[in-house]
Amino acid sequence: MADRSTIFKTTTQNIEETEELGVLLGELLVSDFCVTLSGDLGAGKTAFTRGIVDGVTPGEGDFVSSPTYAVCNVYQTAPPVHHYDLYRLEDEDDLESVGFYDSLGSGILIIEWAERIPSVAARADVRVAIRRTAAEVREFTIESATERGAEAVSMLKDTVRKSCS
């Protein structure tokens, strides 16, 4: 079996670098890819998503805002990006009412607070954990959970290394 677990750790020094990292990941995402984002409030999950959306379709990142109250925002990228924040959901039974099952198979999923609902967390191709280590410094741990996730993570790793050297 091919290696499903690839880890890439990197650090960003400001919000622009976080958005740029998101762009590089977004450029690698296709069809129904699922990325989960974890990290405390203010870690940079939404900033990173702005980059991802811009990486999928340049210019669309400007429309990204936090879906905390809406639970889901959909961006008209190609393919569409469904950006979820599950913070306010109680349990799996709430997924139906927020349209989660309808989003499956109709675009890329980016999910904040997926860890609140294990059946959602289990859908991840790539898991991104963001940790604030100083006012403007964020430590990223980007880990694959599927084979195609592993491909994306290793390509991301190569691209970041090239752009830094």
Q: Between 34 and 43, name the residue whose CB sits nearer to ligand ADP.
A: 43
Dihedrals phi, psi of 48, to nearest 5 degrees: -65, -40
Question: By CB under 6 A, which span of 9-17, 87-95, 102-110, 145-153 interacts with ligand ADP?
Answer: 9-17
CB of 22 closer than 8 Å to CB of 48: yes
> Among residues 158, 153, 156, 159, which one has the least CA distance to residue 2?
153
Q: Which residues of 15-49 are buried (b: 16+ CB within 10 A; e: fewer)?
A: eebbbbbbbbbbbbbeebbbbbbbbeeebbbbbbb
Q: Cβ-closest residue to Mg ion? A: 46
Number of residues in contact with Mg ion under rule CB under 5 A: 3
Question: By CB under 5 A, which span of 12-20, 59-67, 136-144, 146-154 interacts with Mg ion?
Answer: 59-67
Number of residues in contact with ligand ADP under rule CB under 6 A: 16
46 binds Mg ion (CB under 5 A): yes
12 binds ligand ADP (CB under 6 A): yes
Q: Write out the DSSP string of 59-84.
A: TGGGG----TTTSEEEE--SS-EEEE
83 binds Mg ion (CB under 5 A): no
User: Which DSSP symbol is given to 125?
Assistant: S
CB of 32 to ligand ADP, least distance (A): 23
- H/E element holding 37? strand 34-38
Token pair 């890439």 is found at: 8
Question: By CB under 5 A, which span of 14-22, 23-31, 41-49, 97-105 interacts with Mg ion?
Answer: 41-49
By rule CB under 6 A, what string of x and - marks binding of each residue 65-84 to ligand ADP? -x------------------
Residues that bind Mg ion (CB under 5 A): 45-46, 66
